Amino acid sequence: MAGYLPLPIELVERFKVWQVEYDRHEPWAPEKFDWRRHARVADGLARDLKQCVAPRIYVEHRELVELLSDGTTRSWLPMLGLPERE
């Protein structure tokens, strides 16, 4: 990603730390991993990424939920005839 987008090195490093945290979790013991915290960090990373690339590049906040330049989101689920997710 960093090789293709003009991203601040600090943001790239935060993505790396986030990914390493996931890579090092014990897949045989998913209850030990703090999934909610990991998702909150991902939310912040997505918002910061969108600020760096907005509005040129589509950034998904969650599956089929677009993160807009102003920090709000747009779900594509209803437009595709799919139910909203929590």
Give the model's pLDDT for residue 71.
85
Which pLDDT score is estimated for 36?
92
Q: In which residue ranges of the chain is pLDDT below 70?
A: 1-2, 86
Q: Quote the pLDDT of residue 44.
A: 93
d(CA 76, CA 74): 6
Q: What's the pLDDT score for residue 22?
A: 94
Q: Are 5 and 53 in contact (CB under 8 A)?
A: yes
Q: Which pLDDT score is estimated for 45? A: 94
